[in-house]
């Protein structure tokens, strides 16, 4: 009798575990809501423009560290470093508008990138990387789009050699679990596989940080960071 009860209990436990796994699979991944703050002052550099002023303006305010009213940090990348996910990606775009890169920090999976020239003047795209081949190409006003590829994960710095103040960053991330903060210092990383993961936050001019986070199926977890120089 005890044997029979033991077998029944074991079967019931197995069925329960299988049902839990199936329920978790049906619910899909979870969401990480990230908040990034910076207690320091914004960093802004004033640049006098002596070229293409009809498009660029006579001066530029280069916002290197942008801090919102609630100390939220703009342009911080948050990504789950150890999660596995789809490897296919959609083409993304980096625009040159008003003699600035938009967005200043672009996150993408390995794959194609369209480099746009909305200004209608001569730009020159120059990337600085180690894993990916360097891009160093003139983009005259009639060349509205350059189609390029960045196929290896790394942080790529990009500048325009014609307009020296133009700088940006392309973060090539090996999975789709990433986001870049808005002017409130907030971003969401969605559909993260359930389990314990490492979440990393990076900014071009500040020290990166990591935290361990546990993601549960169909649930949202909030994680806060405060970056420093």
* pTM to 2 decimal places: 0.86
Six token digits for residue 87? 């490897």
d(CA 30, CA 129): 33
- Mean pLDDT of successive 10-residue segments in the chain (229 residues)? 42 38 57 97 95 96 93 98 87 96 97 97 98 98 96 97 97 97 97 97 97 98 95
SS3 content of the chain, % helix, strand, coil (to 5): 15, 50, 35
Residue 19: per-residue pLDDT: 38
Q: Tell me the two tokens of residue 141.
A: 């006003």
Domains of the chain: 29-227 (2.60.40.420)
Rg (CA), the chain: 23
What pLDDT, on a 0 to 100 scale, did the predictor assign at position 90?
83
Q: What is the pLDDT of residue 27?
A: 52
E strands, 66-176, are: 77-80, 92-97, 100-102, 105-108, 111-117, 123-128, 136-139, 145-150, 154-160, 167-172
């Amino acid at each position: 009798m005890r044997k029979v009860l033991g077998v029944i209990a074991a079967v019931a436990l197995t069925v329960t575990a299988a049902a839990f796994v199936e329920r978790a699979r049906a619910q899909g991944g979870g969401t990480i809501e990230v908040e990034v703050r910076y207690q320091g002052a914004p960093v802004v550099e004033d640049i006098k423009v002596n070229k293409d002023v009809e498009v660029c303006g006579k001066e530029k305010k280069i916002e290197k560290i942008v801090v919102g009213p609630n100390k939220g940090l703009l342009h911080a990348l948050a990504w789950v470093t150890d999660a596995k996910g789809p490897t296919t990606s959609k083409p993304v775009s980096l625009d040159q508008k008003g003699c600035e890169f938009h967005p200043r920090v672009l996150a993408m999976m390995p794959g194609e990138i369209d480099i746009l020239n909305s200004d209608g003047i001569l730009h020159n795209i120059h990337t600085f990387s180690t894993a990916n081949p360097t891009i160093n190409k003139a983009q005259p006003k009639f060349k509205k789009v350059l189609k390029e590829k960045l196929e290896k994960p790394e942080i790529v710095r990009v500048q325009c050699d014609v307009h020296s103040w133009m700088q940006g960053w392309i973060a090539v991330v090996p999975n789709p679990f990433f986001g870049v903060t808005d002017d409130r210092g907030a971003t969401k990383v969605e559909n993260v596989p359930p389990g314990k993961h490492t979440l990393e936050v990076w900014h071009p001019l500040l020290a990166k940080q990591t935290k361990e986070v546990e993601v549960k199926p169909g649930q949202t977890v909030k994680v806060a960071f405060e970056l420093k120089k």
